[in-house]
Amino acid sequence: MLLITCPHCGPRAELEFSYGGEAHIARPIDPTGLDDEAWATFLYKRSNPKGVHAERWRHLHGCGRFFNVLRDTISDTIVTTYPAGQPRPALPSDGKENAR
Ligand SMILES: [Zn+2]
């Protein structure tokens, strides 16, 4: 079981939380101006990376607030958590894949 640190309540068991999909997906400012392909991309296309993934979680059985989690999808470990609305924190490993 994962131990997830809610930025507002502290560490709690995974059972108190619900997964809310990929984080930092911005809703289009004018959805009516999008064609079907752009709208489908907004609704369904996600990055699904192998490695650190920014996710949205909700402390459903606690404070009820949404927040963001950086989780390593390979090891299923939580790297960090941060309040919703804040940018994704930079990691020391960011950009190393492109440095080769
Ligand atoms: Zn909480």
Pull the structure tokens for residue 92.
Answer: 């020391």
Compute the distance from residue 17 Cα to the ligand 1 centre, in Å. 9
* SS3 at position 44: helix
Domain spans of the chain, in order of start = 1-26+49-89
For range 29-47, the mean pLDDT: 95
Please give the distance, rounded to the nearest whole angstrom, from the Cα atom of residue 39 to the centre of ligand 1. 32
pLDDT of 97 strictly over 80: no
CA of 12 to the centre of ligand 1 (A): 8
Q: How far is the CA of 38 from the centre of ligand 1 (A)?
A: 34
CA dist., res. 74 & res. 61, Å (int): 27
pTM: 0.84
pLDDT of residue 100: 39
Q: Measured in angstroms, how far is the CA atom of residue 77 from the centroid of ligand 1?
A: 19
Provide mean pLDDT across the span 12-27: 96
Q: 66-72 and 52-58 as β-strands: parallel, antiparallel, unpaired?
A: antiparallel
Q: Which helix (H) or strand (E) holds 55?
A: strand 52-58
**For residue 45, how far is its CA from the centre of ligand 1 (angstroms)?**
28
Q: Which CATH class is domain 1-26+49-89?
A: alpha beta
Tokens 């507002």 found at: 8
